[in-house]
Amino acid sequence: MDRVRAWLPLEGTDPVMGPLIGALLLLAVVVLRAALRRTRVERRLDSPLTLIVIGLVLGEIAALNPDRTGLFLWAQAGFVAAISIGIVRALLILFIQFHLRARQGAGVSAIVRDVGSVVVYFIIILLVLRFILDINLASLVATSAVLTAIVGLALQDTLGSVISGLVLELEDPFSPDDWIRVGNYEGQVVETGWRTTRIRTRVNELVTLPNTYLAREPVVNYSRPDPRYGDTLRFHAAYEAPPHAVKEIVTAVFAADPAVLRIPEIEVRSTAYGESAMEYAIRYWIDDFKELERIRDRLMTNVWYGLRRADIRIPYPARDVFVRTEIPEPKLARGGDAVATLGRVPLFASLPPDALQRLAASAQRLIFARGETVVREGDPGSSFYVIERGRVRVLLDEGNGHRGRLVAELGARDFFGEMSLLAGEPRSATVMADEDTVVVEVEHHAFKEIVAATPAVLEPISEVAAHRLAEQQALRRSESLAGERSPSAHTMLQRFREFFRL
């Protein structure tokens, strides 16, 4: 045992074996680092291995100066401190990073890791000072009031942050990846350290908040324990629009959005009789807080289209005085002429002008936003649409409520909705606006008049309808409807005639 002690640069070092063993150890660590080069372990163990190398170099200096002079003592102290801290650090890293994470899938929080290691290093330094250099720092600090005051003042803020960090760790008001708001800052928690906590905002700012700030300010956690968030949007609608109608339209717009939860229910409340409009607030729930701004944008946009379709104005403030009497129209809705739109459809080319006029008089022009559904597969339907501007996609349900298979894309002058209108059957497909789209909607009774006066109009429509049905069935053939034959144009015509009792 004594021989082994003599090999180390401790008390009486062996003048030959001491430096030799030190050099061999140094070589071993350098070889180990080279072997681990560019591996995950090496990156993590970089700092402890550097400390151990420094320790071994100091050990060599001590071993080569065994005369126990000042240099020997300091080199010896450096040797013991650097080697001990390096080994403790390496063990901690290996244990926490690899053993705990790999075995239990759980890590140790940064603050416990950091505070724990700082305490251990501090104890090692105290012991080295005490037993090797014979400096008793603890009693020095305890007996020297001035030193205590200096150390105390210097560490005041840091200690406050560390203690706040530990309190946060115990209270656990948030964990990494949670969305939180503290004071004016809102973002996703990246990491809680021993002095600070970092959050990343929506615009990718990395905000470093001192733990003392987090301990002082109220912390709002959007992710835990319940990830659902009840957001409120406000909007205005014209006084002449009955509040129940407004509420129904807006609720339908919100319910159609995939990000809005069904439970808790959507609530629309009229909140005030404003200067120029009735004010409403709508409370809806989502569970994806990070998407909040995009969801709000989509909903506010679709509310505009929904109110527009129902002919409900969103009034300008009363102080904007419009001299003209008509209501200012948005560009998309302006200028359309239903007669011209219907007249451009080859289907109606044979209609006499007065019939076209009558059809247009009872038709409505509607605007749909990109992504909005115009008709939904399976819904009852009794109207027919001609596209004035924009594009739509015709999609088939893929079963279990997923709509997805694209059957066709239609643009200006095309029409859709003829199948339900003419056969009284539910909608055979979903039609969704692919960009902002204006359609002219013709109702069943108006069409019936035209068919009664000009039955020939049914023929070209039956051909188109038969062709479309055949396309749908070709797509569905791989599924349950395999083998079913599509009706011919003639059969379709018969069906339409029966429905119109011709």
Contact residues: ligand CMP, CB under 6 A: 375, 381, 394, 407-408, 416-420, 427-429, 431, 468, 471-472
396: β partners = 405
Q: Decide whether 63 or 419 has the Cβ nearer to ligand CMP.
A: 419
Query: Minimum CB separation from ligand CMP for residue 490, in Å?
Result: 19
Q: Label the pairing between strands 373-375 and 364-368.
A: unpaired
Q: ∠29-35-40 over CA atoms, to 5°?
A: 105
Half-sphere exposure of 219 (CA within 13 A, CB side): 24
**Cβ atoms 305, 373 nearer than 8 A:** no
Query: Minimum CB separation from ligand CMP for residue 455, in Å?
Result: 20
Q: Decide whether 169 or 471 has the Cβ nearer to ligand CMP.
A: 471
Distance CA 95, CA 90 (A): 8
First to last CA, the chain: 115
Q: Decide whether 25 or 439 has the Cβ nearer to ligand CMP.
A: 439
Distance CA 134, CA 127 (A): 9
Half-sphere exposure of 66 (CA within 13 A, CB side): 16
Distance CA 99, CA 94 (A): 7
Q: Decide whether 192 or 420 has the Cβ nearer to ligand CMP.
A: 420
Query: Minimum CB separation from ligand CMP for residue 371, in Å?
Result: 17
Q: Decide whether 212 or 462 has the Cβ nearer to ligand CMP.
A: 462
197: β partners = 192, 209
Distances (CA, A) of 281 to 232, 255, 458: 6, 15, 47
- Determine the residue type at 397: D
Query: Minimum CB separation from ligand CMP for residue 414, in Å?
Result: 8
**Cβ atoms 497, 465 nearer than 8 A:** no
Query: Minimum CB separation from ligand CMP for residue 416, in Å?
Result: 3
- Determine the residue type at 192: T
- Maximum Cα interatomic distance, the chain, rounded to a whole number of Å: 123
Query: Minimum CB separation from ligand CMP for residue 417, in Å?
Result: 4
Strand ranges inside 184-238, DSSP E? 185-192, 196-200, 206-210, 219-221, 229-237
| Token pair belonging to 54 | 């420094």
Q: Decide whether 133 or 412 has the Cβ nearer to ligand CMP.
A: 412
Query: Minimum CB separation from ligand CMP for residue 231, in Å?
Result: 34
- Determine the residue type at 7: W
Distance CA 210, CA 440 (A): 60
Query: Minimum CB separation from ligand CMP for residue 495, in Å?
Result: 13
Query: Minimum CB separation from ligand CMP for residue 381, in Å?
Result: 5
Q: Decide whether 335 or 399 has the Cβ nearer to ligand CMP.
A: 399
Q: Decide whether 236 or 468 has the Cβ nearer to ligand CMP.
A: 468
Q: Decide whether 222 or 415 has the Cβ nearer to ligand CMP.
A: 415
